[in-house]
Amino acid sequence: MSVVSDGMPRSFETAPERYRHWRLAVDGRVARLTLAVDEAGALTEGVPLKRNSYDLGVDIELRDVVQRLRFEHPEVGCVIVDSALSEVFCAGANIGMLARSSHPLKVNFCKLTNETRFEIEDATRAGQRWIAALSGTASGGGYELALACDRILLVDDRRAAVSLPELPLLAVLPGTGGLTRLVDKRAVRRDLADVFCTLEEGVRAPRALVEGLVDAIAKPSLFDELVQREVEAALAAAGPPPEADGVRLESLDPQVSEGELAYRHVTVSLSAESRTASITLRMPAKPNLLVGLRLARELDDAVLRLRFHYPELGLWLVRTQGDPTDVRALDAALGGASWFAREVRALLGRVLKRVENSARSSFALVEPGSCFSGTLLELALAADRVYMLRGVAQAPAFELSARNRGAYRMANGQTRLETRFTGHADRLNAVLDVPDGVPLDAERALALGLITEAPDAIDWDDSVRVAIEERASFSPDALTGLEASLRFPGPETLESKVFARLTAWQNWIFQRPNASGPDGALRAYGRPKRAKFDWKRT
């Protein structure tokens, strides 16, 4: 049932000692991350990763670095990203790989790379400021990687440029948020951004500085000095480091079999027949922050495997098991002021966003033995629907904690409770008035609007089964569009705009013959023939 084809990674785990494409050097409070792509190391056979171009394998390593810096090197206050090549920072996503990727692989690749870019911005906000040091040209996804950094420094050597050449060269959009970051994050004027995105060769240092495409420039002989000044400014802004060693990210190594992904605290049952995946989180007794970290990482890894390897399992059924007392203990620890508590909270927040950002339906099933409390309640609030068994003697645990009141924000900048009760301040306040740890039975949860349906024991099996079968029968594409529209009422942010507005347009363009057809620009790239376009504007 799983899809592990050409271009598809078998695992999303790695570690610095196994990196093929990045070099990480940590020196006190400064980390230097150098892109040195191994041309022969592509996931797709026969696609050389020239000029520091990347594929999913390169980005899986980047995701690993970003996470490890947060947990293993909390003392780091500044991350310099640079390149091992002299004239090229990064040429972006490899075109040969893109041209040979299926539509779902292209879309999933873009989504994961986008999520990692937001993790970089998240790190910067949390005190690890990322600086892109471009001593050579950054084009396409290479410039988009720089756009995700807090500062962009470009060498002024009359050659190095920044560019987003996707539209003129490939008839697609920059795939990792470049357009939105240009006008929304860097506030580049829309007409200048329009011109910039049509220039194959991009823009060199002096003009890039004037237009706001980069933050600072320097001649080659002064470039190291510029980087050094920026690092010092970043460290001064970051404040003192936490007085603690980091926490090593251990390997997860799930047991993968035909019907199951088994982690220590998370189990995923895979059913090809019903096209569903059942995700169960088990809360161990007396959990500490290390358990919270492991739980978050296991769920994250499971979500990525489900996205990439099991595309036909369109519905995720989310369950929890455990004693709510233990979740309360974990939530109390997560409320701590230490760097580690803050980092585990932040990771849990990102994992929850990854669940919502997945092109899968999700139903939370609240049954006896559940512990949808506090942090785990967020899984129910992130689901498209919540079914809770009504009228049993031992009611499933369903309760709030302080963590539901602001710790985990959605891509739209709001808490899940705020989003759920958009336009109904009275209903939101009624929920917020419920004290932490008060168990809510199904009637109360239904009345408060926290769950969708509450069948009793007689109806439960049929109600849930029908809902699941029906969901699994609908068009996968229409569900993706429906969920992208209903999950995010209220305001939009840079992040929600990238995953909705920009991504939706890109998905459309990826399907169009002008890009992906036999005569489309992605296929024609690098060959003598030119792309043939249907000129109709739509």
Residues from 141 through 170 that contact its own copies (CB under 8 A): 166-168
- Nearest alpha carbon to residue 293 among 335, 321, 336, 330: 330
Report the residue from 45, 86, 190, 239 that binds its own copies according to the rule CB under 8 A. 190
Report the residue from 73, 305, 487, 523 that binds its own copies according to the rule CB under 8 A. 487
Query: Residue 124, Cβ neighbours under 10 Å: how many?
Result: 20
Residue owning tokens 């994250």:
300
Residues from 311 through 340 that contact its own copies (CB under 8 A): 311-314
Stretch touching its own copies by CB under 8 A, among 126-134, 182-190, 250-258, 430-438: 182-190
CA gap 202, 156 in Å, rounded: 14
Residues from 199 through 258 that contact its own copies (CB under 8 A): none
Region of residue 253 (phi > 0: left; psi between -120 and 50: alpha; otherwise: beta): left
What six digits make up the tokens of 402? 């302080």
* C-beta of 337 vs 478, nearer to its own copies: 478
What six digits make up the tokens of 54? 């990347």
- Nearest alpha carbon to residue 278 among 357, 364, 396, 371: 364
Instruction: Indicate whether 172 belongs to the interface with its own copies (CB under 8 A).
Output: yes
Cα dist. 158→86, 214, 275 in Å? 14, 15, 56
Instruction: Indicate whether 471 belongs to the interface with its own copies (CB under 8 A).
Output: yes
* C-beta of 190 vs 248, nearer to its own copies: 190
CA gap 220, 180 in Å, rounded: 30
Residues from 342 through 361 that contact its own copies (CB under 8 A): 359-360
CA gap 436, 450 in Å, rounded: 15
Min. distance of Cβ 482 from its own copies in angstroms?
6
* C-beta of 73 vs 354, nearer to its own copies: 354
Pair 533, 514: CB distance under 8 Å: yes
* C-beta of 149 vs 182, nearer to its own copies: 182
In the chain, % helix, strand, coil (3-state, to 5) comes to 45, 15, 40
* C-beta of 348 vs 531, nearer to its own copies: 531
Instruction: Indicate whether 193 belongs to the interface with its own copies (CB under 8 A).
Output: yes
CA gap 372, 392 in Å, rounded: 16
β-strand partners of 54: 93
Pair 187, 169: CB distance under 8 Å: no
Report the residue from 198, 228, 288, 338 that binds its own copies according to the rule CB under 8 A. 198
Stretch touching its own copies by CB under 8 A, among 70-78, 187-195, 288-296, 297-305: 187-195
According to DSSP, residue 264 is labeled: S
What six digits make up the tokens of 342? 């803050």
Min. distance of Cβ 172 from its own copies in angstroms?
6
Stretch touching its own copies by CB under 8 A, among 40-48, 60-68, 340-348, 488-496: 488-496
Letter for the amino acid at 64? D
* C-beta of 89 vs 363, nearer to its own copies: 363
* C-beta of 332 vs 448, nearer to its own copies: 448
Letter for the amino acid at 402? A
Min. distance of Cβ 251 from its own copies in angstroms?
28
DSSP secondary structure letters along 431-476 = HHTSPTT----HHHHHHHT--SB--BHHHHHHHHHHHHHHHHHS-H
* C-beta of 309 vs 345, nearer to its own copies: 309
Stretch touching its own copies by CB under 8 A, among 214-222, 240-248, 259-267, 506-514: 506-514
Report the residue from 60, 509, 523, 524 that binds its own copies according to the rule CB under 8 A. 509
* C-beta of 402 vs 482, nearer to its own copies: 482
Report the residue from 52, 94, 108, 163 that binds its own copies according to the rule CB under 8 A. 108
Report the residue from 479, 495, 523, 524 that binds its own copies according to the rule CB under 8 A. 479
Min. distance of Cβ 231 from its own copies in angstroms?
25
* C-beta of 98 vs 197, nearer to its own copies: 197
Min. distance of Cβ 371 from its own copies in angstroms?
21
SS3 assignment for 54-65: ECHHHHHHHHHH
CA gap 349, 356 in Å, rounded: 11
Torsions phi, psi of 162, nearest 5? Answer: -110, 145
Residues from 253 through 312 that contact its own copies (CB under 8 A): 275, 311-312
CA gap 300, 308 in Å, rounded: 13
Pair 123, 342: CB distance under 8 Å: no
Report the residue from 385, 405, 409, 444 that binds its own copies according to the rule CB under 8 A. 385
Query: Diameter of the chain by CA atoms?
Result: 78
Stretch touching its own copies by CB under 8 A, among 139-147, 191-199, 261-269, 286-294: 191-199
Cα dist. 65→118, 123, 144, 148, 382 in Å? 14, 11, 18, 15, 27
Instruction: Indicate whether 478 belongs to the interface with its own copies (CB under 8 A).
Output: yes
Report the residue from 194, 243, 264, 406 that binds its own copies according to the rule CB under 8 A. 194
Stretch touching its own copies by CB under 8 A, among 38-46, 285-293, 347-355, 448-456: 448-456
Give the HSE-up count for residue 147: Cα atoms under 13 Å, Cβ half-sphere: 32
Min. distance of Cβ 266 from its own copies in angstroms?
20
Residues from 422 through 441 that contact its own copies (CB under 8 A): 422-424
Interface size with its own copies, residues (CB under 8 A): 89
Report the residue from 47, 235, 502, 524 that binds its own copies according to the rule CB under 8 A. 502
